[in-house]
Amino acid sequence: MLTVENPGITKRERILLTAQRLFARFGLRKTSVEEIIRLAKTAKGTYYKYFPDKEALFLEVVEKESASLLTAIREAVAQSSSSREKMTAYLMTKVRTIAKLANFYQVTREKIDEYWPKIEGVREKYLAEEQKIVQEILIEGVAKGELQVGDPGLTACAIVIAVQGLESPWMMETFPLEPEDGARLLLNMLFKGISKG
């Protein structure tokens, strides 16, 4: 059921939650403002009081989901002690959480040409924050003597780019690999390498 029945939330939150569910199910193009209003059980004037158009609402939904993903990653990393545990927490939390965040995931994996102009700033901000988290893990690992990394900034960038490959549908379809399995393989390569010597 797509209606949001929770008397404790504001009208604005109800619109956001309803839109989040509709966008996740039908996408931006096929979701109408009228359907959001109807299922959120709100007036048209109330909707437009908070959101000038459907794209602004979609942008806020994606911002909300990206903030949720970053929070989940930070919490998982903070609960870990070694750099290996932190990197594992980062990567596994990301692949497990991103599938639940349907709109962020959809923007990441599908119809990028349709969604990208609307959310480019959100994605760039999210990726910069993700890279910062990974860089902090690397710097701490070097300081503790657990890791040997020449340039933590560049290495963090490379790791984030590699992780994005786990989000690409054509990559996952070409190589039938579950995201968690891909994450484990990536972690193994990061910590053990692939050279014999």
For residues 99 and 187, state if they share a domain. Answer: yes
Q: Residue 49: its pLDDT value, please?
A: 95
Cα(20)–Cα(57) distance, rounded to whole angstroms?
A: 9
Percent of the chain with pLDDT over 70: 80
Categorize the per-residue pLDDT at 21 as very low, low, confident or very high, splitting at 50, 70 and 90: confident
Structure tokens at 80: 């870990």
Residue type, 101: L
Residue 48: count other Cβ atoms within 10 Å of its Cβ. 12
- CATH number of the domain that residue 23 is part of: 1.10.10.60
Could you list the residue range(s) of the whole structural domain that residue 31 is in? 11-50
**Residue found under tokens 């994606």:** 62
For residues 38 and 69, state if they share a domain. Answer: no
For residues 28 and 122, state if they share a domain. Answer: no
The torsion angles phi and psi of 138, rounded to 5 degrees, stand at: -65, -45
For the chain, the average pLDDT equals 82
For residues 186 and 92, state if they share a domain. Answer: yes
Q: pTM here? A: 0.76
Give the lowest-confidence range in 31-40, 83-92, 183-192: 183-192
For residues 75 and 33, state if they share a domain. Answer: no
Q: Residue 170: its pLDDT value, please?
A: 44
Give, in order, the Cα–Cα distances in Å from 103 to each of 18, 25, 36, 63, 193.
12, 9, 15, 10, 34
Tell me the pLDDT tens digit for each residue of 37-83.
999 999 999 999 999 988 889 888 888 888 888 999 999 999 999 99
Give Dmax (Cα) for the chain.
68
Cα(117)–Cα(25) distance, rounded to whole angstroms?
A: 21
E strand or H helix at 169, and its extent? helix 169-174
188 SS3 class: helix
For residues 67 and 45, state if they share a domain. Answer: no
- CATH number of the domain that residue 118 is part of: 1.10.357.10
Q: Which of 194, 67, 74 is nearest to 134 (CA)?
A: 74
For residues 163 and 83, state if they share a domain. Answer: yes
Number of domains in the chain: 2
Query: Has residue 4 been placed in a domain?
Result: no
